[in-house]
Amino acid sequence: MPRPIARVLTLLELLQSGGIRTAAELADRLDVDERTVRRYVDHLVDLDVPVESVRGRHGGYRLANGYRMPPLMLSDDEALAVLLGLVAARRAGLTTAMGAASETAAAKIRRVLPERLSRRLDAVSGSLTFTAPPGEAVAPESTVLLALTDAVRHHRPIVIRYTAADGRHSERRLHPYGVVAHSGKWYLTASDLTADDDRTFRLDRITDVRTLPGSFEPPAGLDPAQRVLTGLATAPYRHEVTLRIRATVEEIHIRLPAGVAIVEEAPPSGGGESVAGRWSRVDLRVDRLDWLPAVLASLDRPFVIERPDELRCLVEAFAARLSDWGRDGSERDSDR
């Protein structure tokens, strides 16, 4: 395929991804100058592809709403990738509330596949096992997700209607920073101008999104995923737990992920302390304590419980049960 034609098709693919693309961005992606981008856009218009030119500070090019490309031709590997992606997204809770859309999309692909490939894909999907994410997967409304991600991408302020966990309804004016999928749920991290603070919101609790005029500049070095994980780990819960564990941050996060615990490694004491001998401070906020003794035991590292006293009692009871179970097992073996 001649290189200019390939670039024109690449331009069309970029525009199909949605939103407004600036001439500078397109030129960088296509490795051409902006004048050549304008020429490629003219080629698409000549082919009756409705490319719109948007003026202004955030101007550029976009496809007209409602435009649909002719049916796509997929190779065997591409069909496999699409179907596995749909299955994995559905199992992990990464689809929207319009979950039937993923089912119908997969069915349409399967209907046009050669029988040989269809049988192979059935074998793959029937042999796969997906571990369930912690907690129940909760999908957002597609209209909410699309509106939020568009506002995040173009740095537009928004107003949302939100229902808190306790059932209270409110209207919030936000500067949205990012949308994050975590453990089967979707979250929005944003600056809440109503409360003058950074907040995390569940997408399935947002019932309406309205984009406001203007734009904003997000903080430099922003990491939406880390903000969401920190927000989840510091949310108010029934119990506040503080531990010291002789392990590294990485070792502790294997059992206590970042969305559950905040872990800070203590600085070396100056006495030639090895990495393996360092202690880390762990802070958690949880509704229940009964699962923590088993997790602490699975770390197989020395630990100190600073608070609460109730957790100490639970750990002692758990240790006693393990001792009894071990002793009972040896006694049964000796009776044989």
From residue 93, give the alpha-carbon distance in Å to each of 55, 135, 150, 181. 38, 10, 21, 9
124 neighbors 140 (Cβ within 8 angstroms)? no
Q: Is the pLDDT of residue 279 over 80?
A: yes
Which of 178-192, 226-240, 249-263 bottoms out in mean pLDDT, i.e. has the lowest? 226-240
The answer to whether domain 3-63 and domain 142-220 are alike in fold is no
pLDDT in tens, 39-94: 999 988 888 888 998 887 777 898 887 666 665 666 667 776 777 777 666 665 55
245 neighbors 224 (Cβ within 8 angstroms)? no
pLDDT in tens, 174-191: 999 998 877 777 889 999
Residue 36 and residue 42: Cα distance in Å, rounded?
10
pTM exceeds 0.85: no
pLDDT in tens, 95-154: 555 555 666 677 777 776 777 777 766 666 655 555 444 445 566 777 888 888 889 989
Q: Is the pLDDT of residue 273 over 70?
A: no
Domain boundaries, the chain: 3-63, 76-127, 142-220, 239-325
DSSP string, 39-92: HHHHHHHHTT--EEEE-STT-EEEEPTT--PPPP---HHHHHHHHHHHHHHHHT
Sign of CA dihedral 317, 319, 322, 327: negative
- Contacts of 296-302 with C-beta under 8 Å, sequence gap 24+, read 296/243, 296/245, 297/322, 298/255, 299/245, 299/247, 299/251, 299/252, 299/255, 301/245, 301/246, 301/247, 301/251, 302/245, 302/246
Provide CATH code, domain 142-220: 2.30.30.520
Q: Which residue has the tokens 């609790």?
A: 205
Check residue 228 and give its pLDDT. 83
Domain 239-325, what architecture?
Answer: 2-Layer Sandwich (3.30)
Q: What's the CATH fold of domain 3-63? A: Arc Repressor Mutant, subunit A (1.10.10)
Query: pLDDT over 90 for what percent of the chain?
Result: 26
